[in-house]
């Protein structure tokens, strides 16, 4: 890889303009980078084009030899379809190009893509993000970055434009995917813990919302307890955030990763049973905090 | 109760000058209240006396008829010994006095004391606090207050001097004890969740401290994840905070309360087994976050 | 204690003629022993009187100095009321009498009664039984016996008449109560395991009864899998056997004993939550195998 | 399929002469059937050849067009290699041949092989067995049979010679694999339940072996409680039976099947964590009842 040339690059490719990708690409444009974008549904690119983005017809058309390409795709298979199955992807990036994968995918997928890219003279950086679409649009995401040191340096100026902070998880790309799974596990565990304690309160005459307030306005002041606390207090699980089916996919990956490394995780096992139960009861499309209904069901309280 | 007279009161009794009580009494003194104090060990009152506190020889000597008395005692039995077994306590408070109980005790104890006081013409207010000794000294505790509306109004000026915020849990004193237990349960659940995720990280080559940082510096920014995250990341469970045996007492009360109200709480059940295991392994005197060692033990990692 | 005299005894007292006690007393009568009986409800003794039993008006009237008295009472408090609170009980047994307690009570109750009796020159033998009323009537119970070696020898001929086998749990009476609790725990665990596997089968098109048959007619040929397997397969939990509320009392004692000895028991914790959930849902009066409904509820299957 | 011709068949092919297969093939020989056998290691067939078996060089050489072939192979991949990847297998069985698969494999493998065979004019019968090598040799296995009604009738005389009883799980081959997994789950659950109760006993001064005896000689009289009870009582987990790694494979399949059908199974989740912990601690090669060590570890008891 010729770092000197790369460092002078002022253009970037971007594949995947969903709720998250659109906001991120927009921030790259605002930062003055020439941005070639691709999305399956062209309409989503309309306002970006008005801001100066170059819309192309094929995913690999956003790529320049030795350049940088970001992907923000729905899941593992969508990512692999574009970056592994389609041979043009690495052929066009070669030599020395960098693929920054922003999606939350499994460590196995990261491992596979990393090996595949490396064999084709291209570098894979895993960069899953923490934050919802509003943070993506505001450029205040958190990024979990892992991969080759040199490549990380090269993409650093780009990442600064789209995030408030980058956490470095070392040389092995899949480490940041692993960390993202472990992070999401903590969210689900907090949901279940709140659900149990709010149910205990409710059964004893204390308003659920009062318990939520007590947590989030004292020693649990983070976004997770505040945001999910409100949802769980009012059993407000309308679709909109992370669908429960998708949350289940994450916990399933946590458990698979735990099994592969022989790590017992009893709360993860409990979450598994909570999520499967919710799916059995037809709650798969609700926000994943609907796993909290399990504690209420068990206690003989209807929704 | 004659609220008009009580509202003009400028003096208060205080029983229990341990790590927490000392700081709280000190703030009442600084606020200009005449403060009569009692502690089993007299030395602990020395500097308070220098600040103007009146040290007495018997617990009930801090009490004035129709006045206000605070207690901050070690546990349920210490509280009951002083405020229920010793008949002088309510006799001296009578008529119309108010007992503000700051200790974390069981809902059952609150229920019993409340009935006992009521039968003797005295009001029991439950006011367990959230915060460690540093907050007690700084006057930045959180107070969970419950009991009669009028009595709450009367003690309100006093509480303002020792806390940053008072959460009102309604008319029934035991509600705030219940809420405190539910609060502590969430802390223990967060400890276990962090322990499992840090262990998963460790088994996969990611530093535990890196995971702790990722949580507490993004969406889990509260004190619990920051403080306990550091301890768990470094397996630093030296005595000093809440001893594990005391944490077990709290979780046992959570489970008992849950049983009495037929509320299944699977994470609480898991915590039970984690704490019992820690006690079996001789960790009862460590900080209660040492329950996190269970996840490491299970994963075949020594301490 | 004068073993020679005692061994020649041919009479016995019996307190408690419920479903179990009636059958047991009947077998003592049939064996030719002079049997003095007491029951709160006199009618239950009618046919025993016809067989030769001597019906008395007060519990302690069944007792002869230095003799043997069996009790089969509903629960811990009924037993303590008669054998500990009522001072006549030990006064009349004294000196050298033996109290054989057949009830399933807590180790703590056994410990307390044992000390109390010993202080009054009387011996307490714990002899909880395994078996339902049909076995009691048929004289085919299993007895879990513990207490003083000499006393055990003396009552041995009596026990032979009412049971098919006596298991000796040593010198400490509470050991057999402990063993009985551990035994009942295994029954509840088997119920839950069957429930989970039958639910898995049902969700995959295999009849629940087919799974029950596969277990009980191959490697799980004992009475527990056969009897409960049928109930669980058909969700047939009509009252008649052990009420769920009573089963919960047993598991609660298991958990209390486990806590007192710092023994983590995760399946017992799970059973706790299953039983509390069943009680919340109004199933407390059903047979305790109704805890199996929890697995079906969780899987989105109605009853 | 031409049933008339098939019913007159007096010969059979047999692939896989391990501990189980050897005994089964031997019983087919003794019953007078012409038996063509194949095993990767030829020595294992030696005594069978002496008894009249015809040893061949390739797996598919045991097959006759329209005939019957039994397989008893190590795992899913070994089975698929021989019966699916090697095209000769179905080509030689065609038309109308029957493949009786005795191995414990996943429902997915059964589903796949069943479809593959059907497309090639051959019938797949799933016939996993219950029993150890001693039962295989004695012809007293239990067989869980599922597949086409006609084919089941045709193989019935053969199965009678190698088993004491055949359980019919209907038309869908994978049903019997599912049932076998659910069966094995019950064994593992019983192991864990015994482990917890024996540990409770041990911590309270009751010998583990005494508890094992109490179970297996009263209401838990089946082979599972007797056999595993002895192993667990004495912590005797020497290799020889089912290795823990293989038991984990089974529980993993149970959990996968449960997830695919959205069935929460909390005991299975617990077993998962017990088995992963055992693997982490280097116990993967012991008998799978070594999962019982987890309860002892948790209770602070060394092995």
Q: What is the pLDDT of residues A66-94, one digit of tens each?
A: 999 999 998 999 999 999 999 999 999 99
- The answer to whether A180 is a known catalytic residue is yes
Buried b (16+ CB within 10 A) or exposed e, B257-295: bbbebbbbbbbbbbbbbbbbbbbbbebbebbbbbbbbbb
CB B126 within 8 A of CB B146: yes
Taking Cα atoms as reference points, which of D108, D102, D221 lies closest to residue D166?
D102
Q: How many CB pairs under 8 A join B and C?
A: 47
- Distance from C-alpha of D121 to C-alpha of D136, rounded to nearest angstrom: 30
Higher pLDDT, B233 or C240: B233
Q: How many CB pairs under 8 A join A and C?
A: 28
pLDDT of the residue at B213:
98
Q: Do D219 and C215 touch (CB under 8 A)?
A: no
Taking Cα atoms as reference points, which of B10, B30, B11, B224 lies closest to residue B138?
B30
In chain B, residues with a C-beta closer than 8 Å to the C-beta of D294 are 298
On the question of pLDDT at B8 being above 80, the answer is no
pLDDT of the residue at C56:
97
Pairing of strands D129-130, D141-145: antiparallel
pLDDT of the residue at B2:
45
Q: Considering D44, D92, D152, D180, which one is annotated as catalytic?
A: D180
Strand intervals (E) in A127-184? 129-130, 141-145, 163-168
Q: Is the bond preceding residue B95 a cis peptide, omega within 30 degrees?
A: yes
pLDDT of the residue at A3:
45
Q: What contacts B139, CB < 8 A, 6 or more positions away?
A: B23, B27, B161, B162, B163, B164
Q: How many residues does chain D have?
A: 303
On the question of pLDDT at C297 being above 90, the answer is yes
How sure is the predictor about C303, in pLDDT bands with cuts at 50, 70 and 90? low
Q: Do A281 and C273 touch (CB under 8 A)?
A: no
Q: Do B259 and C272 touch (CB under 8 A)?
A: yes
Neighbours of A251 (CB within 10 A): 24
Strand intervals (E) in B81-173? 98-101, 123-126, 129-130, 141-145, 163-168
DSSP H or E stretch at residue B72: none
pLDDT of the residue at B82:
97
- Distance from C-alpha of A206 to C-alpha of B206, rounded to nearest angstrom: 41
CA atoms within 13 A on the CB side of B184: 29
In this predicted model, what pLDDT tens digit does every residue of B107-140 receive, in sequence order?
Answer: 999 999 999 999 999 999 999 999 999 999 999 9
- Distance from C-alpha of D282 to C-alpha of D280, rounded to nearest angstrom: 6
Angle at A75 between CA A72 and CA A77, to 5 degrees: 115
| Residue A30 burial (10 A CB sphere; 0-12, 13-18, 19+) | middle
- Distance from C-alpha of C25 to C-alpha of C136, rounded to nearest angstrom: 9
- Distance from C-alpha of D68 to C-alpha of C226, rounded to nearest angstrom: 36
Q: Which structural domains are found in chain A, ordered by start?
A: 3-171 (3.40.50.720), 177-298 (1.10.1040.10)
Pairing of strands C68-71, C98-101: parallel
- Distance from C-alpha of B130 to C-alpha of B132, rounded to nearest angstrom: 7
Distance from CA of D87 to the nearest CA of A (A): 29
Distance from CA of D265 to the nearest CA of B (A): 14
Residue written as tokens 């605002």? A30
Distance from CA of B8 to the nearest CA of A (A): 31
Average pLDDT, chain B: 95
Residue written as tokens 């770092």? A3
Beta bridge partners of A163: A141
How sure is the predictor about C9, in pLDDT bands with cuts at 50, 70 and 90? confident
Buried b (16+ CB within 10 A) or exposed e, B194-217: bbbbbbbbbbbebebebbbbbbbb
Chains in contact with A, counting 3 or more C-beta pairs less than 8 Å apart as contact = B, C, D
As a three-state string, the secondary structure of chain D is: CCHHHHHCCCEEEEECCCHHHHHHHHHHHHCCCEEEEECCCHHHHHHHHHCCCEECCCHHHHCCCCCEEEECCCCHHHHHHHHHHCCHHHHHHCCCCEEEECCCCCHHHHHHHHHHHHHCCCEEEECCEECCHHHHHHCCEEEEEECCHHHHHHHHHHHHHHEEEEEECCCCCHHHHHHHHHHHHHHHHHHHHHHHHHHHHHHCCCCHHHHHHHHHCCCCCCHHHHHHHHHHHCCCCCCCCCEHHHHHHHHHHHHHHHHHCCCCCHHHHHHHHHHHHHHHCCCCCCEHHHHHHHHHHHCCCCC
In chain D, residues with a C-beta closer than 8 Å to the C-beta of A245 are none
What's the sign of the alpha-carbon dihedral C43, C48, C50, C53? negative
How sure is the predictor about A240, in pLDDT bands with cuts at 50, 70 and 90? confident
- Distance from C-alpha of A208 to C-alpha of A206, rounded to nearest angstrom: 6
Q: Considering A92, A152, A180, A249, which one is annotated as catalytic?
A: A180
In the structure encoding, which two tokens stand for residue A165, read together?
């902070």
**Stretch C168-181: mean pLDDT, rounded?**
97
pLDDT of the residue at B253:
95
User: Which ipTM value was assigned to this complex?
Assistant: 0.95
CB C128 within 8 A of CB C177: yes
In the structure encoding, which two tokens stand for residue C206, read together?
């295999």
Q: What contacts A5, CB < 8 A, 6 or more positions away?
A: A66, A96
Integer angstrom CA distances of residue B177 from A56, B183, B245, B262? 63, 10, 19, 18
On the question of pLDDT at C6 being above 80, the answer is no
The residue of chain D nearest to residue B276, with distances taken between CA atoms, is D299
pLDDT of the residue at D4:
41
pLDDT of the residue at B1:
44
Buried b (16+ CB within 10 A) or exposed e, B37-67: bbbeeeebbeebeeeebbbbeebbbbbbebb
Numbers of helices and strands, H then E, in chain C? 14, 9
CB B132 within 8 A of CB B155: no
CB A65 within 8 A of CB A94: yes
Neighbours of B32 (CB within 10 A): 10
Average pLDDT, chain C: 95
**Sheet containing strand A129-130, strands side by side:** A129-130, A141-145, A163-168
How sure is the predictor about B303, in pLDDT bands with cuts at 50, 70 and 90? low
Buried b (16+ CB within 10 A) or exposed e, D3-14: eeebeebeebbb
Chains in contact with B, counting 3 or more C-beta pairs less than 8 Å apart as contact = A, C, D
- Distance from C-alpha of B257 to C-alpha of A116, rounded to nearest angstrom: 56
**Stretch A257-273: mean pLDDT, rounded?**
98
CB C277 within 8 A of CB C214: no
**Stretch A3-9: mean pLDDT, rounded?**
53
CB A25 within 8 A of CB A48: yes
In chain B, residues with a C-beta closer than 8 Å to the C-beta of D282 are 300
pLDDT of the residue at C2:
45
Taking Cα atoms as reference points, which of C282, C291, C277 lies closest to residue C247?
C291
Average pLDDT, chain A: 95
What's the sign of the alpha-carbon dihedral C53, C58, C64, C66? positive
CB C22 within 8 A of CB C44: yes
DSSP H or E stretch at residue C242: none
- Distance from C-alpha of C167 to C-alpha of C129, rounded to nearest angstrom: 10
Chains in contact with C, counting 3 or more C-beta pairs less than 8 Å apart as contact = A, B, D
Q: pTM for the full model? A: 0.95
Distance from CA of B300 to the nearest CA of D (A): 5
* pLDDT per residue rounded down to tens, chain D (303 residues): 444 444 557 899 999 999 999 999 999 999 999 999 999 999 999 999 999 999 999 999 999 999 999 999 989 999 999 999 999 999 999 999 999 999 999 999 999 999 999 999 999 999 999 999 999 999 999 999 999 999 999 999 999 999 999 999 999 999 999 999 999 999 999 999 999 999 999 999 999 999 999 999 999 999 999 999 999 999 999 987 899 999 999 999 999 999 999 999 999 999 999 999 999 999 999 999 999 999 999 999 975
pLDDT of the residue at C302:
74
How sure is the predictor about B36, in pLDDT bands with cuts at 50, 70 and 90? very high
On the question of pLDDT at B286 being above 50, the answer is yes
Query: Quick one: how far is CA A296 from the chain centroid?
Result: 29
Active site members of B: 180
Chain B positions contacting chain C at CB under 8 Å are: 252, 258-259, 262-266, 269-270, 272-274, 276-277, 279-280
How sure is the predictor about B89, in pLDDT bands with cuts at 50, 70 and 90? very high
Distance from CA of D245 to the nearest CA of A (A): 11
DSSP 8-state code for residue C146: B
The residue of chain A nearest to residue D248, with distances taken between CA atoms, is A259
In chain C, residues with a C-beta closer than 8 Å to the C-beta of B270 are 266, 269
Candidates D273, D294, D299; nearest CB to B280: D299
In chain D, residues with a C-beta closer than 8 Å to the C-beta of B280 are 298-301
At A19, is the secondary structure helix, strand, or coil?
A: helix
Higher pLDDT, D9 or B244: B244
Q: Do D178 and C194 touch (CB under 8 A)?
A: no
**Stretch C126-139: mean pLDDT, rounded?**
96
Q: What percent of chain C has pLDDT over 90?
A: 94
- Distance from C-alpha of D203 to C-alpha of A211, rounded to nearest angstrom: 39
Distance from CA of C259 to the nearest CA of B (A): 7
On the question of pLDDT at C82 being above 90, the answer is yes
How sure is the predictor about A150, in pLDDT bands with cuts at 50, 70 and 90? very high
- Distance from C-alpha of A136 to C-alpha of A113, rounded to nearest angstrom: 24
pLDDT of the residue at C8:
59
Integer angstrom CA distances of residue C173 from C67, C114, C176, D212? 19, 7, 6, 19
Candidates B280, B282, B298; nearest CB to D277: B298
Q: Do C280 and A273 touch (CB under 8 A)?
A: no
In chain B, residues with a C-beta closer than 8 Å to the C-beta of C262 are 276-277, 279-280
Chain D positions contacting chain B at CB under 8 Å are: 266, 273, 276-277, 280-282, 294, 297-301
Query: Quick one: how far is CA A46 from the chain centroid?
Result: 24
On the question of pLDDT at A4 being above 70, the answer is no
When scoring C265, C280, C283, C293 by the number of chain A Cβ atoms within 10 A, the one with the most, hence best to mutate, is C280
CB B147 within 8 A of CB B124: yes
The dihedrals phi and psi of B15, each to the nearest 5 degrees, come to -115, 120
Taking Cα atoms as reference points, which of B153, B127, B149 lies closest to residue B71?
B127
């Amino acid at each position: 890889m010729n770092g000197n040339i790369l460092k002078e690059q002022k253009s970037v490719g971007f594949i995947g303009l969903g709720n998250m990708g659109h906001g991120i690409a927009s921030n790259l444009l605002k930062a003055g980078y020439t941005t070639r974008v691709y999305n399956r549904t062209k309409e989503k690119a309309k306002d970006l084009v008005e801001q100066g983005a170059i819309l192309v017809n094929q995913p690999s058309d956003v790529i320049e030899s030795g350049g940088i390409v970001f992907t923000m795709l729905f899941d593992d298979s969508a990512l692999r379809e574009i970056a592994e199955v389609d041979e043009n992807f690495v052929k066009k990036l070669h030599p020395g190009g960098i693929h920054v994968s922003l999606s939350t995918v499994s460590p196995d997928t990261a491992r596979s893509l990393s090996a595949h890219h490396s064999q084709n003279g291209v570098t894979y950086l895993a960069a899953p993000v923490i934050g919802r679409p509003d943070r993506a649009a505001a450029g205040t995401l958190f990024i979990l970055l892992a991969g080759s040191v040199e490549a990380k340096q090269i993409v650093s100026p780009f990442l600064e434009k789209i995030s408030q902070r980058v956490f470095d998880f070392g040389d092995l790309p899949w480490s940041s995917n692993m960390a993202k799974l472990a992070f999401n596990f903590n969210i689900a565990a907090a949901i279940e813990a709140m659900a149990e304690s709010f149910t205990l309160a409710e059964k004893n005459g204390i308003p659920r919302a009062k318990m939520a307030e007590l947590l989030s306005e004292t020693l649990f002041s983070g976004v997770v307890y505040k945001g999910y606390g409100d949802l769980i207090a009012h059993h407000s699980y309308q679709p909109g955030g992370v669908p429960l089916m998708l949350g289940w996919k994450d916990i399933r990956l946590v458990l698979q990763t735990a099994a592969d490394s022989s790590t017992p995780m009893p709360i993860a096992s409990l979450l598994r049973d909570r999520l499967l139960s919710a799916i059995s009861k037809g709650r798969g499309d609700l926000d994943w905090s609907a796993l909290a209904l399990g504690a209420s069901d068990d206690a003989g309280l209807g929704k």
